[in-house]
Amino acid sequence: MDEIRKQINCDVIEAFKDDYEDSLKIFAALDAKAQNTSTIAGIFIAALFAFLRENELKFFVENVGLIGVLIFVFAIVLLIATIVQCIVAMRIREFYLPLSTLDIPGMVRCLKLLPDNELTCQKLDYYYNDIAKRWQTIQERLLDIIRGKGNKVSIAQIMLLSAIIIFAGLLIYLVIRVYMNLSAH
């Protein structure tokens, strides 16, 4: 029975270690998503400024009017906000370290001082429960950090998508407008 109990305790701690490794992967994936999202937003901003030369800008303003220009500026602000949001997400670096070999000696000190006849399965269970509680606390903190980082990346992606939709709508409007002007002549 003692071996089964010990195996159960070891399995619980191993599961926490696996969860921690998964959290590390999720954390890195969120950083990669934030980087990719900000890169796409930066590419759009660069393309827009390449497009906005004097002649093109004049043509654009004449064909979309003041409301179109305001919508265009709003989309650029969305792209800039996307980059800022991604930078904020990537700057989240608070990460809790797992239990290390430096933590264990303090936890087992009391157990090592016990005489053999007092070192019971119940006391070993308490030891394993203490380790499991520490892992659980670490994992809960990590999940909170990952949720916050994930929310920031999601917001950035929504802003990027919104800006792209706005630009696509303006471009479609501009093409239709130019086509109708050419057809009228």
- Listed residue (127, 37, 124) closest to 89, CA to CA: 37
- Listed residue (96, 103, 100, 98) closest to 142, CA to CA: 96
Instruction: State residue 94's pLDDT score.
Output: 76
In the chain, what are the domain boundaries?
A: 2-184
Could you tell me the pTM of the whole model?
Answer: 0.80
Q: How far is CA 72 from CA 27, 43, 64, 155, in A?
A: 34, 16, 10, 20
Backbone φ and ψ for 179, nearest 5 degrees, come out as: -60, -40
Instruction: Provide the residue-wise pLDDT of the chain in tens; the chain has 185 residues.
Output: 477 877 887 888 888 888 889 988 999 999 999 999 999 999 999 988 887 777 777 888 888 888 988 999 999 999 999 999 999 999 988 777 777 666 666 666 666 677 777 767 777 777 788 888 888 888 998 999 999 999 999 999 999 999 999 999 998 998 898 888 888 77
- Find the distance separating the first CA and the last CA of the chain, reported in whole Å: 93
Residue 14 carries which DSSP code?
Answer: H
Instruction: State residue 1's pLDDT score.
Output: 47
181, HSE (Cβ side, Cα atoms, 13 Å):
10
Instruction: State residue 107's pLDDT score.
Output: 67
Q: How far is CA 95 from CA 102, 104, 110, 119, in A?
A: 18, 20, 29, 35
For residues 107 and 96, give the distance between their C-alpha atoms in angstroms, rounded to a whole number: 19
